[in-house]
Chains A and B, each alone.
Chain A
Amino acid sequence: MKIPRELVHTFPLFIPRSYKTSEGNKTGSWRFLRPGYLEKTAPCSSACPLGQDVPTIQMLTVQGAFKEAWEVILRENPFPGICGRVCFHPCETACNRGEFDEPVAIHMIERFLADTARRYGLTPHLEKGPSREERIAIIGSGPGGLAASYFLTLLGYSCDVFESQEKPGGMLRWAIPFYRLPLDVLEEEISRVESIGIKIYCDKNITEKDFQSLKTRYNAVFVACGHQKGRNLGIVGENLPGVVDGLDFLIGLKRSEREPRIKGNVAVIGGGNTAIDVARSLIRCGAEPVIVYRRRKEDMRAFQSEVEMAEEEGVKIWELKSPVKVEKKNGKLMVTLQKMEVSELDSDGKAIVVPDPSEKEEVLFEMVFKAIGTEPSEAWYATAPPARDVHDLFSSRIVFEDDYPVLYGGDLFSSAKTVTNAIASGKEVAIALDAYFKDGKAAIMPEIERCRVGGSSALSMEIYINGERSKRSPHVVSFREINSDYFTLVPRIPQPRLLKEERVLTFAEIDLKISASMAMKEAGRCFNCGICNQCDNCYLFCPEIAVVRRTVEDGVFRQINYDYCKGCGLCVVECPRNAMVLEEESA
């Protein structure tokens, strides 16, 4: 038996119902706090010497938009394949995720994107400004010179690059060992830069006289010829046969058809990246290298990870020892090592050392490699002619001789002599020159200031050309400002590597490729600090349906309908990545 239908239908059911809109009641007038969309700066972007838009790169990678992600890199950095391999990635040190579990492997994703673009032979879509009449001469085709020519060309200038060696690339080509930067990666990246319309003249050494004549033919000259000469130790016997300049050794390796075999104990003097490159190369040539360093291991200027890998491969490190004399003995080199001791620590916590006169030792080596630093190969490179009109920027110097701009950058000017800093220097030069040509000298400093990423010395070309990024706040998002409830602990992707037994046998690249799915998973760990990744939390959480979502041609846009937003702030709190802001309503 069913319930009689008539019984059901006689039930009274009287509730309020209205078909009229209640939109006439503009509840937004109750608001005293005003939420809004305001993208901010991620700490990684600010820490990157190139100010790269890391959170956007990760966001696009997660979406599988690899070409677009690669193009976002190319707006700020012409060399992602190189930087993804050799940069010391300060972005990862600054990564907010490091306070949650582990930093995002940003460099691995950068490299993945570059490798993917190369594998598929992609041609990037790069926005180029209208052509300009000014011609720029660039001395040196290292990362600084090439970066300047790349950015200046995109800004509409024509650039000629002069390279003293037979091939372009500078230290990228000659100093960085293949196991860190394979030749094909380098050549592909250089040819891609060249292909946007840059002329590179190789085997063209610029003498001081040539330099003067360049000034008559070009509207500006950028001197970016770097450091090609190893520094001397300043000790007895350093010119004996068997005592070799470390940089010359690395260059020689690159030029030789096959690597030489070197036997026995060899000493590498120094504590920078060159010393590590030399020592690790020597291992691959069959030698047993010892790095002799006058300070402690933790004081070495070399990247920590490089030091660790060198030790894994069998490089020995003798700390607190300084060579004072090299002598010939029984066909070998006898090096007298002075024991050093720490007298105090400097402001960075690095040791300041003094000799301990009580202790010296003599050690026999087959060869000695000097790697204590580099300097320009010709004196005029570094010393600008006497001039009063000098503007020191973050990583370059601009000198006006009767209003003619000559710029100095790359290793010649930067204190941090890294590939990425050299590229940053080239970018800075491009911005400074463009500002100068368009609006005169007085425009240079304000324009440089305007392009700073999160108040750091990193400059953004996208901000300079008033791209989307220029709308972001320079406020650098801290971990505290991330709503970490939205994230789960996920371990960082490990870098797949050759086994150390394999590494020491060849100069093959150590770091192996990662798959697209690994890259997407890793990029998915990114908090996307300060930028909207369209998660729609604001839209979903708004209790007033005052977040309006509109689909337009290039995607979905969100807006706040202030007629009905009561300013509860839920959207701002629930934004996982601090891409919103809540401010007091102005009266």
Chain B
Amino acid sequence: MKTVMEGSHAVAEAVKLARVQVISAYPITPQTHIVERLSEYCADGTLDAKFLRVESEHSAMAALIGASSTGVRTFTATSSQGLALMHELLHWASGARLPIVMAEVNRAMAPGWNIWTDQTDSLSQRDTGWIQMYCEDGQEALDRTLQAFRLAETVNLPVMVILDAFFLSHTYEPVDVPEQEQVDEFLPPYNPRFYLDPDNPCAFNQLAPPDVYMEMRFSIQVAMEKAFDVLGAVHRDFGRIFGRHYDMVEAVECDDAEIVLVTSGTVTSTCREVIKKLRSRGKRVGLLKLSLFRPFPVGEIRRNLLKARKIAVIDRNCSFGAGGIFAQEVRSALFNVPNHPWVYGYVAGLGGRDVTPEVIEEIFRHVETLECPEDDSFWIGVREVENGIGSSR
């Protein structure tokens, strides 16, 4: 049934429908609405889950690692500094092969304090061994959360479902909330491959010397690679049951495009409109939306981008001293292919600054006029600032 709801609440609905058994979280804007709603569900009995209140995000993740080790379905949500505080345990969760699912609402890192959207927080956790999926709207947030549990529990890796702050987390949109029976069909109860069993005591994750450690790491890498196949199967099963079809990437008008814009998150929706407008003016432009960041869908990217001449990646993040992170990844994905297109990187919309259709058109014009990228990344919409220490308002 379609219901108008916040992106945050779409995630909470999915978690409820997924019959999660343990939730542990620490509040942080802009994530709070997710766990707030879930705590209400736990309190009123709508969701039969243990809700653990903890004193920090570090503890939230630690608690879930403990809970997940016992073979139950677990969930948390966080943002920005909270995610950074979890960092140590993010590695632990993946290394311990625990299928924890986390909603991560992209928020800028401080200082200066900024609660608005920016992908640097989640992309800083790129190498922690978590699967990362970026959502465009409330429907995708709900659907990806359901898929995340299925994917995580199949490959034994944790999954982050990532939403833009406010543009998605706090925006009300119509969302089709599936029936419980449908979800139960899609997502059977978690059947762990290993778990702590008091009747058969053992210890997990003790010392791993050099003669075994590397194989353990390789096992994670293999699972990541297998995740493409699994996610493909998950998408097909999801489409069969719910009638909504997803892929790791979505290509719009890419077949004959000379220039393809690459986006993730809510900027994609804006970009769809810009593409329509530019096409009506006869521009051969396409759009590639990236939903999956880890594992990085190199094959899908090559398949969709190699025909174009120029690729413009819009990054709402920056790896200082290098540039936008999606741009780097796309550039790497294409580099070993002969006659690959130019890759232009654009950093835009940091700290919640709006990426308007005008901004995207400006990027397009820049790519169109520039024969080849003079620089690895371009910052869009940065004002000149007087020398000295700035003051905000």
Contacts and interface: CB of A to CB of B under 8 A. Distances in A.
Interface of A: 1-4, 7-8, 11-20, 22
A544 to B, nearest CB: 14
A28 B125 CA distance: 36
Interface stretch (B19-27, B211-219, B320-328, B374-382): B211-219
B95 to A, nearest CB: 8
B97 interface: yes
A22 B201 CA distance: 12
Contacts of B207: 16
B235 to A, nearest CB: 11
A13 B193 contact: yes
Contacts of B237: 1-3
B223 to A, nearest CB: 6
Nearest to B223: A11
A18 B204 CA distance: 6
B154 A15 contact: no
Given A7-B233, A11-B223, A12-B219, A1 B240 contact: yes
A11 B208 contact: no
Interface in B187-226: 193-194, 201-208, 212, 215-216, 218-219, 222-223, 226
B152 to A, nearest CB: 12
A15 B230 contact: no
8 contacts: A1-B237, A2-B237, A13-B97, A13-B156, A15-B95, A15-B219, A18-B206, A19-B203
A426 B205 CA distance: 66
Given A1-B240, A3-B154, A8-B154, A15 B205 contact: yes
Contacts of B218: 12, 14
B236 interface: yes
A125 B375 CA distance: 92
B123 interface: no
A14 to B, nearest CB: 4
Given A7-B229, A8-B154, A11-B226, A17 B234 contact: no
A75 B178 CA distance: 67
A13 B236 contact: no
Given A11-B223, A15-B96, A22 B203 contact: yes
Contacts of A12: 218-219, 222-223
Nearest to A12: B219
Contacts of B208: 16
Contact of B219 (A13, A17, A18): A13
Contacts of B201: 19
B234 A3 contact: yes
Interface range on chain B: under 10, 10 to 19, 20 to 34, or 35 or more?
20 to 34
Contacts of B236: 1
Nearest to B150: A3
Q: Is the interface of A mostly helix, strand, loop or mixed?
A: loop
A17 B223 contact: no
B206 A22 contact: yes
Given A3-B230, A3-B234, A7-B229, A14 B204 contact: no
Nearest to A9: B193
Interface string B327-363: 0000000000000000000000000000000000000
B170 to A, nearest CB: 33
B154 A16 contact: no
B11 interface: no
B155 interface: yes
A7 B204 contact: no
A8 B156 CA distance: 10
A254 B233 CA distance: 95
Contacts of B97: 13, 15
Contact of A14 (B202, B219, B230): B219
Given A13-B156, A15-B204, A19-B201, 15 more contacts: A3-B230, A3-B234, A4-B233, A7-B233, A8-B154, A11-B226, A12-B222, A13-B219, A14-B218, A14-B219, A16-B205, A17-B202, A18-B206, A19-B203, A22-B203
Contacts of B223: 11-13
A17 B206 CA distance: 7
Contacts of B229: 7
A542 to B, nearest CB: 15
Nearest to B191: A8
Contact of B155 (A11, A14, A16, A19): A11
Contacts of A7: 226, 229-230, 233
Nearest to B213: A16
A15 B217 CA distance: 9
A296 B200 CA distance: 77
Contacts of B212: 14, 16
Given A3-B234, A3-B237, A16 B216 contact: yes
A2 B154 CA distance: 12
- List the 5 closest A-B pairs by CB distance, nearest first: A14-B219, A12-B219, A3-B233, A18-B203, A16-B208
Contacts of A8: 154
A515 B168 CA distance: 56
Contacts of A13: 97, 156, 193-194, 219, 223
Contacts of A1: 233, 236-237, 240
Nearest to B240: A1
B216 A14 contact: yes
